[in-house]
Amino acid sequence: MLETYLKLIWAYLKIGLFGFGGGYAMLSLIQREVVDSGWITSQMFTDIVAISQMTPGPIGINSATYIGYVVTGSVFGSIVATLTVVLPPFILTLIASHYIERHRQSPFIKGAFMGLRPVVVGLIASAALLLMNSENFGYLNSERMITIAICVASFCIVYFTRIHPILVIILAGITGLLVF
């Protein structure tokens, strides 16, 4: 049990410490830690992302809370994972805010962020690629026709209109209920 907790803490320390570029960019990092380690399936990971989208709050927190509970089976595990993911940024942000002038002038921060911008695009793309699998799109060809159609339609709505993503998820859920 202690080992599970230590692994959980280690995983979420890394996620908190290297989570640059916002929620979507953190996904591949989270996925690597929690899916590749065998804690949850890729399908479950997608479900957690969906739940995160539909509930308020940042996905980094939501995934920690959910996975902390699932992995340890206790509320305490949930608390541990959630606090762990905010601890490294909490300390770093607190320090940086005390040296705000020096921080703003820092050539490292300026340069690092220029370099991170294109990397963040790749991080988000990798998360999308990793989730394009049979667990999420179905194993049967007949299912795949429908799921790919849902994916393309959802993309068009999100990218070309101002319709809220939550509405897109709800519509996709209703579609799933009707056609599967």
Partner 1 sequence: MQLTDKRESTSGLYLQLFLTFCKIGAFTFGGGWAMISIIQREIVEKHKWIALDEFLDLLAVAQSMPGILAVNISVVVGDRLKGLKGSICAALGTIMPSFLMILAIAIFLTPDTIKNNAVVSRIFKGIRPAVVALIIAPVLTTAKSAGINWKTIIIPVTVALLIYSKLPYISNPIIFIVLGAIGGYIYYLRSLMKGDNGENGGNEANREEVESHA
Min CB(80)–partner 1 separation in Å: 12
Contacts of 74 (CB under 8 A, 6+ apart): none
Min CB(169)–partner 1 separation in Å: 6
SS (H, E, C) 9-31: HHHHHHHHHHCCCCHHHHHHHHH
- 8 or 131: CB nearest partner 1: 131
- 4 or 173: CB nearest partner 1: 173
Min CB(136)–partner 1 separation in Å: 4
- 6 or 54: CB nearest partner 1: 54
Min CB(3)–partner 1 separation in Å: 21
- Report the C-alpha gap between 29 and 46 in whole angstroms: 14
Q: How is the chain split among helix, strand and coil, in percent rounded to 5?
A: 85, 0, 15
- 3 or 97: CB nearest partner 1: 97
13, 87 in Cβ contact below 8 A?
Answer: yes
Give the CA angle between residues 153, 158, 160 to the nearest 5°: 90
